[in-house]
Structure formats: C-alpha cells, structure tokens
Amino acid sequence: MLRIDFSKAEVLKSAFSAQAMTFCEPAVKNALVAVIDLLAIETGTRAAREEWQRAQINNLLAHCASRSSFWRRRIGSRNVKSLDLHLLPILRRRDLIAQVASEQSLLRAPDRIGVALHSTSGSSGMPTKFYVSAMNMEYNNIRGMAQYFIEGRELTKPKTLLQHSPEHFADGFNVERKGSWLYHLDSFFASGGTKHIKYFHPAIRKLATELARDEIGYLIASPRIIEPLLREAEEELLSNSGLSMWMPIGEGVDDSLREKFAQRGVPVRSSYSAEEVGLIASECEFTPGKFHVATSNVVVEIDRGEKIDMNGVELGRVLVTHLHSYATPMIRYDIGDFASLAAVCPCGHDGPTLSNICGRTKSLLKHADQSITPFYVRNSELLEIVNLREYRIRQTGYRTIKIELCAQDDVTQCQRSRLIELLKRHCTDSFDVEVQVVKEIDWGSDRKRLGYRCDIL
C-alpha cells in the first residue's frame, strides 16, 4: 500500500502557512502536487499511464490538426481522436525546420501561455530552431526535482555544478555560491546550497582544491573535466569530499571511469535528454546502463527501419513523441540517436526502459555502405600523445575524420603521426585523418562542446 510520510524529510520550522484555514503556502502546495502528479504517472500502474498518454496524444494531434497545415498534411484523412501514432510519418530534423520556418509557434498570444524560441547546439550545419512553452520549462524544473523523490535522495546535500564557459577567469575558473537548489520547495524542506563553478582551461590542481574545500554533494559535470580532475586528485575527490553522486552531462561515460566511482561506492546517474523535448529517460538506480523512460513527458518508439549492430546488440532509431509539445509539435521525432527498448526494467520498474543509447553525438561512425559502427576515443589516449588543452573530433565525410586540437606546446610531426595512427586504429575502415592545430576551437553555438560528433548521421 502507498504510504506518504514526511518523518524522514527535514520540514522547516517555517514551512507552513500562518493564514487561517490554510496548511501549506500556495506556491509550495502547487509544487508538491506537481511532483506527486508526475510520480503517480511514472510509478503508478501501466494501464492508467497508457490511458493518460493516449488521451494526451489525441489532445496534441487535435491541436496540430486545428492550427497547422503542415500537420494536417501529415495526418491526412485519419481521425485524430482514434489515430494510432505509428501510422504517422517520422518527423525528421528537416521537417521540423520546415514547419517552424513556415508556421512559427502553434501557441499564440490568445492562448496566454508564454513561448520562447530555442535552438539545438549544432557544431556544424544548421542549428534546429523550435519553440517551447512556459509549461515545458516549468515541467523540466518539477521533473528534475521529482527524481530526488523517486529515489529518496537526501535533499539536505549540496549541489555542485561544473560548467564549461569560455570566459576569462583567474586560474581558469570562477565560483559562485547560490542558495537552495530545491526550486519552489526551498521554503518547505531543508536543502543544501548550490555551488556553481564556471571554467575555461582551468588550472586542474587549483580546481581540485576548490572542489574539495566544501562538501560536494551532487556533482553535475562532464566526463571531460572529471577525467583530468581524477588524474590529479582521485582520493581527495572521491573519498574525502562528501561526494554523494555524479550526474554526468554532455557525453557518454567510459566504463573505466564509472568503475573508479563504483570502487568508492559513489553512484553515477546519467539522464538522457534532448534540448528539443527535455527529459527522455533517467538511469535506473539499481541497474546501471538501463534508463527508465520519463513517461510523464514522452512516448519513445524504436524504428526498426534502420537497424544497427552494436557489439552484437541490435539497435534502432529513437523516435520521441513529446506529449506537451504544443508550441512546436514533436511527434515521432527522430532525435538522431540509436538505442534498444524493453517493456520493463530488470529492477522491477513496470515501464519502458532504454539501453545502449548511442548516436550522432554519442560515438558512432557512419560508413559509405550506410552501416554504422561504434567509435570511442578516450581522453587519456590522446593525452598520452600530446598535452592537450581542448579537442574536438568530427566525422565530416564517409571516409574523413577531423581532429582539431589546442595544445600546450608545439605539436611535432611525430605526435601528428601518432594521433593519425590512433584515430585510424579506432575506425573500422580506411579513413583519412586530418589533424588541425588551432589556437581556440570555434564551438559556435555548440554549448555542449562534445569531444566527438558525427556530422553525417
């Protein structure tokens, strides 16, 4: 049976309202109810959840049919009230770009819901522009918080965010301390503070010392900064700094790096999200590598039309339907990744579960015969050859891999040859490797600054 009990949470002395006939302050009440809403959908019975999702899909399709000729063409003569999602065509990136260019937002001023224009961070080619609503932004905040309640994570731990930011800082980083990270519930539960560190080519020793100065708590950081930090101060950071959990952002986490955290009993918890739709799935707390789909936000399908074989596991394209995408509808949207999907998780969670997620920005090479193979170069392999400050590897053609690097010193001919040899070893085909030494990498609007991306997938 369900038991709701606040005895394990630190409810603040000033948590409740002083008003007559009132318990919680309205803002707190709304946030608590919103969290419970999402928990009920994502952890409740499958039948209820699927019924709710069907209703949401019908609502969204009816909205599309009434507001958009682009969507009317896709829906055709089908009845939106009983339409099977699988009958709609896949929404490719170019389709999305065309819809936004010709129709802008499908939520308009009379709807009285704020909209904002966002874009994906394409490191090359055309960034995808799309509209998000105020509801989407509110959802993302609440859903982020809900994960702490789903897993029963301690709210009193601090949060430390390491963010790559190309600015000039003394020692290459800047620390800002902020209040609670609990959003609207900060006046209700005792919660830890937020430490926001922006960095750009940081002095690693000094950054490690800065991190160890305070309890770290929940650490949100890219593997690319974690690797050098652990090389410098593994013991200090993993065992003696109050590190509760690492939530990697940006790129995938190498198994050997995960193992270092596992050895010290520090959980690593990734999430799978996309700028276009927000959260897609959260890593299972019991089975690393399995991701519970955020069913209050999206419906995920795997398209078997284009299968790939990843170390003996068959993967298909990830199609995402964002249930609240009223400003720019994303229905069966090809997000550019591959994965496998199971109906349930081995942990017992009765909901769709993704694994083997990989994609455009996640370590894949595309070949001229259209086959796709894994490609993963470790940071440490590059560092053994040259003392790098920053790098970016891209597949720019069927037979071309390009590496741009900023090095501390001049790059010798011998180092170049070794880099080319290393990258060729990682490609399963005979690729041409171009090495380009640059002063700074021009990331453009690419906020994620991924070490690798495939520009042709």
Q: How far is the CB of 351 from Zn ion (least distance, A)?
A: 9
Among 74, 322, 324, 349, binds Zn ion (CB under 5 A): 349
Give the residue with the Cβ less far from Zn ion, 111 or 151. Answer: 151
Task: Report whether 426 contacts 377 (CB < 8 A).
Answer: yes
User: With binding defined as CB under 5 A, does residue 342 bind Zn ion?
Assistant: no
**Please, which residues bridge with residue 195 across strands?**
160, 177
Backbone dihedral angles phi then psi of residue 180, each to the nearest 5 degrees = -55, 150
User: With binding defined as CB under 5 A, does residue 345 bind Zn ion?
Assistant: yes
Among 284, 299, 302, 323, binds Zn ion (CB under 5 A): 284
Report the relative pairing of strands 217-221 and 159-164 from DSSP bridges: parallel
Give the residue with the Cβ less far from Zn ion, 146 or 207. Answer: 146
Of 60-68, 128-136, 190-198, 282-290, the window that binds Zn ion (rule: CB under 5 A) is 282-290
Q: How far is the CB of 420 from Zn ion (least distance, A)?
A: 42
**If you ran DSSP here, which 8-state letter would residue 127 be given?**
P
Q: How far is the CB of 353 from Zn ion (least distance, A)?
A: 6
Of 29-37, 44-52, 276-284, 320-328, the window that binds Zn ion (rule: CB under 5 A) is 276-284
Give the residue with the Cβ less far from Zn ion, 6 or 286. Answer: 286
Q: How far is the CB of 344 from Zn ion (least distance, A)?
A: 8
Residues 287-306 that bind Zn ion (CB under 5 A): 287
Residues 27-46 that bind Zn ion (CB under 5 A): none
Q: How far is the CB of 287 from Zn ion (least distance, A)?
A: 5
Residue with tokens 């936000």: 297
Q: How far is the CB of 279 from Zn ion (least distance, A)?
A: 16
Say whether 302 sits in a helix, a strand or coil. strand
Of 95-103, 190-198, 312-320, 341-349, the window that binds Zn ion (rule: CB under 5 A) is 341-349
Give the residue with the Cβ less far from Zn ion, 182 or 354. Answer: 354
Report the relative pairing of strands 400-407 and 388-397 from DSSP bridges: antiparallel
User: With binding defined as CB under 5 A, does residue 364 bind Zn ion?
Assistant: no
Return the amino acid letter for 149: F
217 dihedral zone (left: phi>0; alpha: psi -120 to 50; beta): left
Count the site residues for Zn ion by CB under 5 A. Answer: 5
Give the residue with the Cβ less far from Zn ion, 89 or 346. Answer: 346
Q: How far is the CB of 283 from Zn ion (least distance, A)?
A: 9
Of 138-146, 293-301, 349-357, 389-397, the window that binds Zn ion (rule: CB under 5 A) is 349-357
User: With binding defined as CB under 5 A, does residue 164 bind Zn ion?
Assistant: no
Give the residue with the Cβ less far from Zn ion, 160 or 355. Answer: 355
Side-by-side strand order, sheet with 452-454: 432-437, 400-407, 388-397, 452-454
User: With binding defined as CB under 5 A, does residue 347 bind Zn ion?
Assistant: yes
Task: Report whether 137 contacts 277 (CB < 8 A).
Answer: no
| H/E element, 415 | helix 413-426
Whole-angstrom distance, CA of residue 76 vs CA of residue 35: 37
Give the residue with the Cβ less far from Zn ion, 219 or 345. Answer: 345
Whole-angstrom distance, CA of residue 325 vs CA of residue 167: 34
Write out the DSSP string of 375-409.
----HHHHHHHS-EEEEEEEEEETTEEEEEEEESS
Q: How far is the CB of 346 from Zn ion (least distance, A)?
A: 6
Of 15-23, 57-65, 342-350, 435-443, the window that binds Zn ion (rule: CB under 5 A) is 342-350
Residues 103-162 that bind Zn ion (CB under 5 A): none
Report the relative pairing of strands 278-283 and 290-293 from DSSP bridges: antiparallel
Q: Which residues contact 311 (CB under 8 A, 6 or more apart)?
A: 374
Give the residue with the Cβ less far from Zn ion, 167 or 350. Answer: 350
Assigned token pair, 268: 């690593």
Strand stretches in 107-202, DSSP E: 115-119, 129-133, 159-164, 173-180, 193-199
Of 7-15, 174-182, 347-355, 432-440, the window that binds Zn ion (rule: CB under 5 A) is 347-355
Whole-angstrom distance, CA of residue 423 vs CA of residue 375: 9
Assigned token pair, 401: 């891999």
Assigned token pair, 445: 């609007």
Instruction: Tell me which residues touch Zn ion (CB under 5 A).
Output: 284, 287, 345, 347, 349
